Structure formats: C-alpha cells, structure tokens
Chains A and B, each alone.
Chain A
Amino acid sequence: MRALVRFTLAQHVLLNLVFTGLIVAGAYALLTSPVERYPVVNFGKVFITTYYPGASPQDVEALVTRKIEDAIEDVEDVEFVRASSHRERSRVVVKFVDDADYDALYDELRFKVLSVLGELPEDVDPPQFNMITVDDWLPVVSVNLAGDRGNRALTLMAEEMKVPLSQIPGVKEVKLQGEHTREFHVTLDPARMAARGVTFDQAAAALADANRILPAGDFTDPSGEYVVQVDERFRSREQVVKAIIRRDADGSFVTVGDVAADARLSYRDPHVISSVNGRDCVTLQIVKTAESNALDIAQEVDRVVEEFTPVLAREGVEPVLTQDSTTYIRDAMHTLGWNLVVGVTLVALVIWYFMGWRNAGLTVAGIPFSFLTTMVFMHATGNSLNEITLFSFVLVSGIIVDDAIVVVENIFRHVQEGKKLREAVIDGAAEVVVPVISATATTVAAFLPMLIMTGSTGEFFALIPKAVSFALAASLFECMFLVPIHFLDWGPRNGEAARRDELQENAGMRATRAVADRLVRFTTRHRIASSVAVMLLFAAAIVIMGLSVSGRARLVPVKFYPDDYHLYYVTLEGPAPTPIGEVSRRLKAVSRLVMEDGPGMARSAQAYAGFYVNEDYENIFGHNVGTVIVTLPVAEDQRFADYPVNDPAAHLERMRQRIAERFATDGFTVKLRPEKDGPPAGKDVNVRVVGADTERVSALAADIMEFIRASEDLGPNLEQVEDDRGRPNRIFRMEVRERRAAELGITAGQAAALAGAVLDGRYLGKYRVEDEEVDLKLLVDKASLAAPQDALRTPVLEHPEGPVRLDDVVRPRLFTEPGQLNRYEGQRSVTITANIKSGAPLSSPGAVKAIRDHYQAVRAKFPGAGIAFGGEFEDTRRSYTSLTYAFAIAVLLIYAILATQFQSYTQPAIILSSIVFSVIGIVYGKMLTQTLFTINSFIATVGVAGVVVNDAIVLVDFINARYRAGMPRREAILDAVRVRLRPILLTTVTTVLGLLPMAVGFPRYSLVWGTMASTFVTGLVTATVLNICVVPVQWELLMGAKERLARRKARKEAQRAEKQAANKAAKG
C-alpha cells in the first residue's frame, strides 16, 4: 500500500488534472442532465379500452370484453388479465410478468386484439391501447384552458396552443385531454311527426338513405382516368334538414326539417366532464423526452402561456397550470440545497474544531467533488436528476466525507506524531487504505442488493443504489488518490509555530476521550452484563417494531407511505341515478368554494365528474361519482386558518367539515383524503371471489360480505368494506312482444330497433365537418320524454285511425343491476376489499385466515366459485419481499467482505452486531421522537447498516493490529479506542450533522426526507456509542474464548506430549 501511495504522490500533476477535469465534467453533467420528478418507469400494464355506444354492461361483456380476452389468451408472459365491463365501455387490463420485454409484448397484444376487430359489433369504436408509464399521470406540467366556452372552442384554443408547446425543445408529446367527442344530433319532435304521420324509422331511413358515399370505380377516356365517386355525405345542417322523408304531391315533401325540433353539432354524452377552479376546461399535458430537463420545459411553457394569456383573456378563457412537477423538483432541490449548505457548514466547523481549518478544507472539498463526479456517472449511464436521485444524494451526503476524514485524520495523526509530512502522508494513507476500501465496499454492499427489487417499485428504487454507489466510488477515489496529494500540497505542517494549535488535541477532544476511556473500562469490566443488556434492548426493539407494524400497539408510528400534503382529493358520490352533469355542477361548486379561500389555501382545484381515484390510483367509474383534486400551495405560500402553524391535517379536517356541510345533501356523500405517496399496495384485506358460475360468485361474495360485517373479530375492526361491482345502474328494459307485433304487421326486428333507439337515439352513419367525420345521431326530443315510459308513446307505424305505438308491441321492465361486471383471468370475479381500522387488534393475515376458515365452512354451498387473496397488488408485495431479500443479501455480502478482510469467520459477527446497535437506535429513536417510520426510513435502515459497520471495522482492525503486536487484550482495546476515537466520532458527527438539518427540518422540513434523516441520525448515533463501548467487549469475549480454547488445546497437547513422553520413558 505504501507503494501505491508513493506512486500516487508521484502522479500529482496527472491526478490534479483528473480532479479538475472531473469537476468540470461534473458541472457540465449537472447542467445538462435530464431533470424530472420521477424516472420514467414502465409498469408493464396495458389498458385496452373499447367504446360500444348504447350497450349495457352485459352486452359489453358478452360482445366486446370476452372477445378481447379470447384474442389475447395465448400472449405469453402475462401475469394476469383483469377485465371490467361498464355501460358502453369495456376495460381490459393486461399485466405482463415483471421485467419482461414490455414493448414486444405490447406490440403482440395490439396485433392480437386488432386481428379480432371484425368479430366485434359494428358500432364499436376501435379499442384504444395504453401502456402505463409514469408519464401517464405525471406530466411536466398541465395547462388547463378554463372558461365558460363550449368544449369545441376550448379544444381549438388548446390545439392552437399545442403547436408552440410541442415545439419546446425536449417535449415528447402534448396530450390533449377533456375533448368531448363531437356528434351531429338530429332531434325529432314527436308532435310534428304525428301531425305529418311520420315514424322514427321513416325519418331514420330517409337520413340513412340520403347520407351515402359510394366509390364508383373509375372511367377512362382519351384524356386519362377519372375516379368516379358518389359522395352524398352530409356536410351541412341544410343538407340534413332537407333530407326528404316522403313525397306528398309534385314537390310537396315531408323533410327532416319538418319534423325535427333541432339539428346541430353537439357532443357524445361524456363519460368524464373535467373542470378546473369551477369552470369547464380542456387540458394539455406536457410530456417530456427522457433526456430533457423538466425545469427548462416548464420555464418555456410559462413563456408560451404568458404569450397566450391576453389572447385567451379576450375569449374569456384563463390558463390554469396544474400537475406542475417542477414545483416538487424545485421544492426538493431547495430543501436539499439548503440542507446541504447547512450540513456541510456544520461538518466543516466540526472538522475545524477537532483537526483545524486546513483539514476541514481538505475533507469538505470532497463533498462537491463526489457529487459532481457522481453526476458524471449518472449522466453517462443515462440517469436523470429526479426526486429519487436527490433523495439518494441527501442520504449519502453525510457518508461521503467519512473516507476522507479517516484518511486525513490518520495522516494528521502521523504528522502529530512528528513524522515528516511526506512520510506522514504515505504512512497515514497506506495504513487506512484497506479499511477504507472495506468500509466503502460494505456500504455499497448494503445498498447494491436493492437492485434486485422487482417490478415497477423496484425500478423506482433502483436509482438509489446506483446513485449511492457512484457517490461512494467517487468518494473512495478522492480519498485514495486525491486526499494524499492535496494533504501534501495544502495540509498542516509539523513544526510550524503558527499552526501549533492545529497540531495539538483540543480540550473538547480530550474530554470526550476521557469519557470514552471510562466507558470502555466500565463495559469491559462488566462484559457479560453489558452484552446481555444490549441483547435485551435489541429484543425489546424487535418486539416494539413488531407490535407497531401489526397495528397492535402504536409505540412507533408506522406508515410506509405517509400522506402527502401536496394535494388532497374530495370525492363526491350521489345516488345511483344522478346524472353526470349534476355531479359536474356540484364539483364545480366545490371547486369554487375551495378556491374562494385564496391562493394561501389552494393553488388549483381540478375536478372530474364520472370517476374518482381510489387509494390505489385506480379510476372508479360511475356517472354519479366525481372528484376534485386540490393542489395545496408550496409550504412558504401556505396561509391556512391556523397560520403560522399551517398544519395541513387540520386544514384538511376543516375543509372536510365545510364541504360536507354544503354538499353532503340530497343523498350525496363527501369524502376527503390527502394523497398517499408510494405505489398502489391494495387495501389491507383483499379477497377475490372467482368462478365460472356468475350467480354462485355473486352469492359467495354476498356471503363473505355478510360474514365480514357480522363477525365480531372482523366487523368492528374493518372499515371501507366494499366490493368492486360498481354503482348499480337503473335499467329500463323493453321486451318485444313478438306475437303482438306480428298481429299488427310489424316485424320483431322493427319493434326492437325502435325500442333500442327511441330513448338514446340511433347512429346513422357519419356527418362530415371540416377536419373530421363525426357520428350522425337521430334522437327523439328529450323535452317530450320526462320519464322512460314516455318513449313508449312513440309510434312504430302511423295510421290515420291511430298509430301503432311502441307500448303496443313492447313490454317495459324496470330494475337495477350491477354497473360493472368484472372478470379475472377469464372468470367472473368480485373483489371484496377492506381496511383495518387504525389501532384495531387485527392483522391482514388474521383477517385472511378468518375469511378462509369461513369459506372452508361454507364452500359446499357454492360450487363453481372460489376465493383467492391478493393478485392485483402482488407486484408491490413482491417488491417489498425482494427488498427484504435485499437486506439479507446485504448482510451476507458485508459479512463476506469482512470475513475476507479479517481472515476470520467469527470477527465479522462482532462487526455485524453494529447493525443490531443501529436497529436499537432507530426503534427507540422513533419511539421517543414519535416520528413516522416510512419506506424511506426502511431504506435508511439499510443504508445505516452499511455505515455503522465502518466504525467497527476500523476499530477492530486496530485492536487486532495492537493485539497481534503483542499487547494484552485490554490494553489493545484501550489503545485502539484512544487512537480510533477521533475518526470514529468525526465520521459519525459529520454524517449526523450532514443530516441533522434535514432531520429537524432546518431551514425546512420535508416529510419524505425528514423521516429518512432522523432514522439515520438515531441509528448512527446509537450504533457509534455502542460500537465504542460494546464492540471491544464482544471482541474481548471472543478473543478470550479463543484464548481459552487455545489454552485448552495447548494443555491437551501438552498432556498428550507428557503422556507420550511418559510412555516413551516407561518403554525406555
């Protein structure tokens, strides 16, 4: 190693050039790296949505959903196929096996579905495919054009704006959402039809006949070829109203205009109505390319929006920006930046205090170098700067100075011992190179197994080990190759009178050393007692954590994905028959109420009538439901009622009460919940009833629901118990009386066709507008249809003595049926979900067991139906399981590294006990501070495991060295502790101080990073103290045992030798 350090010192020009080059490259990478909120992750899920106008859930299932299911049956690598059939819509979700070739599978899937297009009913719109990636719900920013204008006008304005937005460098796509499908509606007036003796069918036939386009081949004359075409497609309202239904005299006709109440361009009944801040809107979602910078794009979007604002204002339209990911990125960078500045300053001050300003400068210089070098790696490997990488940087910010501290401290110690500077550098660096490499390797080993995490959650988290490993590698490079030459050039010199104070240990360090010495002496005197105490503390910590995670006792507040107070959802649900328009009206009123409070309480309120987003990010459709997504202002702009406290939870509670007071009327229910971070994990209890027999499946589902409600163990402890059969639809079915129809000279088909069209119209081909062809729909004036029964008065056949009306040939039936039919893996399914109430003495496995037991008892009653647990959220669960594996692998890897370094099977166990110490610190720290234990805390636990072993490695390494040098055990320990105390404390204190601003929220608290930082701090501090006090005890116990073994062995050998000697003597 000394040769290596010597060689390094000889290459100082080259290394300085490398140092400068990496800093410049890092700065370039920082400026040019893609910036986005989250990395683009493909979820391996494809949504196939098909629109079948006018069809009931049953028809949709039989004629569309099942055909699509059959088509994709033999696509490989499919984990599951889940289908739901709603009114007029079929939705098939195909989940591919994790980490498969999603693009190839997507192409195959599309091909298979499109090849059965001919088997779908004629009226069906071609299926739409959507492979879900992060971009789908997290654009860079959304520009909403809101105003009291028609959807068409808003759409055209958006189209106009789309052009400059698409031209912004780095924009991949600008998605237009909220555009309603245009249709040309001809509305017939029943009174006028009766006056002229015209039936709906006659009008429909006339329109269909007049609206024709025929390719008529071609014709060739000497001048060339003509394409012959007959194009009578309607292009204007006049053409439609002039269509002749009947000729009465020479040219006295009955035209469509004679019997139409209205004819105009209108919209298809929307399934979703969107609005923002209480006004109708269309939305432009700006999606970026993988390489571009969201911040730059957002700035350009702002410029385009600013340009358009006066033009839009003249039209009464206001651009409203929502889903602004850059807010989060800026917030993250701001928090990170300030925390880094404060952290680095504190680190520098501490190092200055213990080792003088030169050492502080040398050490702290490693932080920007490591970050910038990491940026070079990240840029080169095509990774972006996003919330995950920023999180990783914060996580690692306190660790990356550790290596430099160890090296600088050791060189400094040698300088203090009076060696010449060059010799001190060579000896000091060479002495710690192996432990430093080992320490870095263990930290990397702690993080790297996270790469094996599967699924989309795994893809998200994969960036953490990458960023951490790059940063640690950069830090290792810096401390091995750059710190020695920098120390030589800039470090403190021995014998310089002006810097004497830097060379002598200060009072603080002396006092700490005294305390540490006393502590170590105490624990080594009470070896067994201290070891047992630590074991008991660890056992208690495990029990505390177990109780908290299972929800039996909330000693540590556990919430894997805590509420994110960036936005909250207000969900409205009306009685089943509530029309979507009414829901939209109420949602707009809610939005206005929210926005009236001013920009201090809400930045925007985006509303969607027709669906709401549940806790698992799934859209639950229904015309009677809707949701308002309220974006809260960034922390510094918040002015809640309790300002300056600004407790978002209290604000949400206040809003919940206000909104419920005004809008929970007429059968409407109002729910309000904050957004939850993290991937969809499903509810606590998720039971899927599946089977081929629809009735049995429904019956078993009902039985289980009843059991859950009635059970003393489950009922009181569960909340939000619901199934996924959707909101019930009221059905008005008209059944044709065939015989009666035949008596009246009407075919059953005629009667059925009219019955099918009279309430919701009939599609009769296309109508051509300038830029597209839209459906032409013939309807009966709704003004004459107060109730569905009124439609029965519609004449099927006109006769002077009285018409034959629809109610002469059809029989009406009114009933309700499920609004949604679900299938899972080609079988009918009903999924029952529930959440366990907080603090309830019930766990998910407990609930599953109870339901499984109940099913076993009743299964004989429900042949053809069975139950399954999980399924949909297996992906997330698998990810968590693999994270646990990653932790185990990390421990094994660390053990392997240590075993190799120490050439011992047992000593690594002592070092690994640091992990136990950190767990003790984390659990008690969380319990005492009552801060949340989140998924980030879990990752921090993995991370802290890699760090805490470093102190133990160096300590044990030094004890071994002293012991091997012939010192007695106790003295070896005390000497090693004396020598290693300063670097151990410094690495810990610097890491702690690096994270402390974040843990305590100075200058700003981030829920995401605060929990991570506090975990790190409590784990590290506890582990460091215990490392100093308990690791030597364990080492001594181990070495004592070894010595005893060796002595016994030696004794036996000696006895054997004596015996042999005695025998020999006896023989001799």
Chain B
Amino acid sequence: MNAKTLLPLALLLLLAAGLPVRAAETAPALAEARPAGRSVVLTAFTRARAAMDLTAENPGKVAFVAGEVGQAIGKDGVFARLDATLTGLELDKNRTDQARLASSVAYLDKEAGRYRTLVAGSVADQATLDRLEQDLDSARHQLAALQVEEKRLAEVMARSTVRAPAGWRIMRRDVEPGQWVAAGQVLGRAGDYAVLLAPLALAPEELTALRQAGDALQAELPDLGLTVPARVYRMSPAFDPETRKTDLDLVLGGDIPERRGGLRVRLALSIPDPAGAVLLPEAALHKRYDEYYLLREDGSRVPVVLQERTKDGMVRVVNHGLAPGDRFRLGAEN
C-alpha cells in the first residue's frame, strides 16, 4: 500500500472518528425542572429547656452567694447561703434541753420503778407512784417535742442554703452577701442550657413541611456559623386565636459550643407553591427584551415569569403549562 492510497484512507478514518464527537458536541445540554416549593425562613432564638427562680425560704442575711450570672451551679447545687447562726444556737439549746430532759426521764423512770415495787409491796402509796408516772410521761413528751424541734431547726438550717439543679446556669443574681432577704424573695434565676430549644409558630402547611422533614431537619445558627440537627421537642395543643398557628419548640442537637439563650436559629422550610413554580439552573433561563423564557428540547420558547434567583444558582420560574420534569436546554440560544 503506497502513500497515495493511505492518505485518503487515513482521512476517512479521521472523519469517521470525528463524527460521533461532533454529534455529541452539538447535542444541547438539558436540565430538568424541579418543583419549587415556596421557601419560608422562620427565625427563632434559643431558650433554656427550663428555667427557675431561686427563692429564699427563710428570712435572713445572705452569708454567701455561690456564683455569678452565667456560671454553672456546682455539683453541690448551692446558689447562696443565708446566715443560720441563730438557728444553730437554738439547735444547741434544744439539744441541751433534750439532755436535761433525758436525764430527768432516766431519774423519774428509776424513781417510778422503785415506787412500783414499793406499791406492789404496798409500801408506798399509789398516789406518789401516779405522780411520778405522770412526771415521767411529761418528761418523755417534752423530750419528744424537743426532738421534733431539733428536726425543724435542722431543716431550717438546711434551707438557709438556696439551691439550684447542678449544671444549670445562673441567669440572674439579685442578691449580694450581707443583704437581708425576706422569706419568699427571689434571689436569682437559673436555667437548663444543656438542652437548647427554639420556639416557633407554624402555619398548617409549614407544620406539615416540618414534619415531612423528620430526622433530616436542620437548623442554622448563623451567629455561630453552624448547622445542627433539630427535632420537635414539644408541641402545644392549645389554639392561638390571634396567630391561628401552632406553637412548638424545636430542640437543637449537635455540638453547640456556646450554649445560651438568644442564639439566632434559622429554619428554612420548603412548602408547596400553589402557583406551580419550578426550579431550574440559571443557565436554562434566557432573557430578551425584559421577557424571560426557557428553551424546550426542540428549541421552542416557553415564556416564564422569574420569581426569584436562589443563592445556589437556581432560578424559580412560573408559567401556566410548566411542570416539574419538563426538560429545557442549557446555555445560550443558537
């Protein structure tokens, strides 16, 4: 085979090899329309799962406050202590009285035992025995009363320490040491920030969308630059006539480095759009003379109304007769 024969053959082969490549190049890239829900962004601010006021049960002077606002309550659960000196003195006196009474009881018991023997031997009169018996009972009762009093005083002593659940964070501190407080006065407030909730009020279709998201529900914490999993923690069965919405709390999961209230939580929900909008890549949208249109596979134009450009390079368009699943050309019109 000489060069004259080879050259055309090589050219033919090249041409044949190039043909499918060319065909592939000319076939337009297509994009499929996706249903475009209406994007609803709900904002909430984190709250403690629970919070409580820390209240003095007894009046008294504040002897000690365990922590500052924002600090966690220690394992002993102490928030503050009131001065309990007087209660301690009363307790001491009570115990002294109890010792004295116990001694009296012992004496009278012995005395009464002796008289019982005597009376049984008819050596002593019954009246003296009865008197001794009564004295003994009286002493015993007094002792029991003092024991009860001792318990009360001990309880008072214990309650002079204002406590909160260990680990809760002090939200508010209203007292300082040395300050006299009345019984029932709120000394501060503590909350459980170990579990962060985000309260929302949802319209029915929003609630449906939230439920449909299930475990995939994600909440954005833009202040921290985090996206964390979320789930419904509790839902109020009550009806709010003003809003006509359902109140619920989302609990935020994940590792949130800063657990506090007031963190902005953003929840994006996609709810069905009754107008029938679809989502397409921006490259599928063409604009001429202020009119937007898409190009079907056959090159025919479908005029649309542009509703929104999303941040991820998609466009949300709407028109009668436009349905999810329709395919449109990408790129410039020929």
Contacts and interface: CB of A to CB of B under 8 A. Distances in A.
Interface of A: 149-150, 152-154, 156-157, 189, 195-197, 237-238, 246, 248-252, 254, 257-258, 261-262, 264, 315, 800
B223 interface: no
Nearest to A182: B290
Interface stretch (B88-96, B104-112, B238-246): B238-246
For the complex of A and B, the 4 pairs showing the least CB-CB separation, nearest first, are: A251-B43, A800-B241, A249-B201, A153-B289
A264 B319 CA distance: 12
A251 B263 CA distance: 12
B243 A237 contact: no
Given A248-B243, A252-B44, A237 B307 contact: yes
A197 B288 contact: no
A251 B42 contact: yes
Contact of A197 (B199, B244, B290, B303): B244
B308 to A, nearest CB: 6
B247 interface: yes
B271 to A, nearest CB: 9
B289 A315 contact: yes
Contacts of A156: 289-290
A189 B205 CA distance: 15
Nearest to A154: B289
B38 interface: yes
A261 B274 CA distance: 8
A258 B200 CA distance: 16
B203 A258 contact: yes
B45 interface: yes
Contacts of B199: 249-250
A264 B288 CA distance: 17
B275 interface: yes
Interface string B299-333: 00001010110000000000000000000000000
B258 interface: no
B70 interface: no
A248 B245 contact: yes
A344 to B, nearest CB: 54
B290 to A, nearest CB: 5
B291 interface: yes
B275 A252 contact: no
Contact of A152 (B242, B275, B290, B308): B290
A261 B38 CA distance: 12
16 contacts: A149-B289, A149-B291, A189-B274, A195-B204, A197-B243, A237-B308, A238-B308, A246-B243, A248-B243, A249-B44, A249-B245, A249-B247, A250-B199, A251-B44, A261-B275, A800-B239
B217 interface: no
A317 to B, nearest CB: 9
A252 B290 contact: no
Interface string B25-57: 000000000000010101111000000000000
Nearest to A149: B291
Contacts of A157: 289
- Most chain B beta-carbon contacts within 10 A, residue among A196, A248, A249, A262: A249
B241 to A, nearest CB: 4
Nearest to A189: B274
Given A195-B244, A197-B243, A238-B308, A249 B200 contact: yes
Contacts of A197: 242-244
A250 B243 CA distance: 13
A195 B245 CA distance: 9
Interface of A is mostly: mixed
Nearest to A252: B201
Interface size grouping (class) on chain B: 20 to 34
B202 interface: yes
A715 B166 CA distance: 107
B192 to A, nearest CB: 19
A153 B288 contact: yes
- Most chain A beta-carbon contacts within 10 A, residue among B40, B201, B204: B201
Interface in B182-217: 198-204
A195 B203 contact: yes
Given A152-B289, A153-B291, A248-B201, A262 B42 contact: no
B292 to A, nearest CB: 10
A910 to B, nearest CB: 76
Contact of B244 (A152, A153, A315, A800): A800
Contacts of A237: 307-308
Nearest to B248: A249
B291 A252 contact: no
A248 B203 CA distance: 10
A150 B244 contact: no
B111 to A, nearest CB: 78
B202 A252 contact: yes
B38 to A, nearest CB: 7
Nearest to B309: A238
A250 B43 contact: yes
Given A248-B201, A251-B42, A251-B45, 5 more contacts: A152-B289, A152-B291, A195-B204, A261-B275, A800-B239
Given A248-B201, A249-B247, A264 B44 contact: no
Nearest to A799: B241
Contacts of A264: 305
Given A196-B244, A249-B44, A257 B289 contact: no
B233 to A, nearest CB: 15
B289 A252 contact: no
Nearest to A316: B301
Interface in B225-283: 239-245, 247, 266, 274-275
B38 A257 contact: yes
A261 B290 CA distance: 22
Contacts of B305: 264
Contacts of A252: 42-44, 200-202, 243, 245
A258 B241 CA distance: 18
A252 B40 CA distance: 9
Contacts of B42: 251-252
A774 to B, nearest CB: 13
A673 B201 CA distance: 68
A262 B319 CA distance: 11
Contacts of B40: 258
Contact of A315 (B44, B247, B288): B288
Nearest to B41: A251
A883 B219 CA distance: 90
Contacts of A238: 308
A250 B45 contact: yes
A257 B42 CA distance: 13
Nearest to A238: B308
A252 B44 CA distance: 7
A334 B124 CA distance: 169
B203 A196 contact: yes
Contacts of A254: 203
A518 B266 CA distance: 119
Nearest to A158: B289
Contacts of A152: 289-291
Contacts of A149: 289, 291
A648 B241 CA distance: 75
A771 to B, nearest CB: 10
Contacts of A257: 38
Given A237-B307, A257-B38, A258-B203, A250 B289 contact: no
A398 B291 CA distance: 61
A258 to B, nearest CB: 7
A163 to B, nearest CB: 15
Contacts of A249: 44, 199-201, 243, 245, 247
A260 B331 CA distance: 32
B240 to A, nearest CB: 8
Interface string B136-168: 000000000000000000000000000000000
Nearest to B288: A315
B328 to A, nearest CB: 18
B230 to A, nearest CB: 15
A315 B288 CA distance: 9
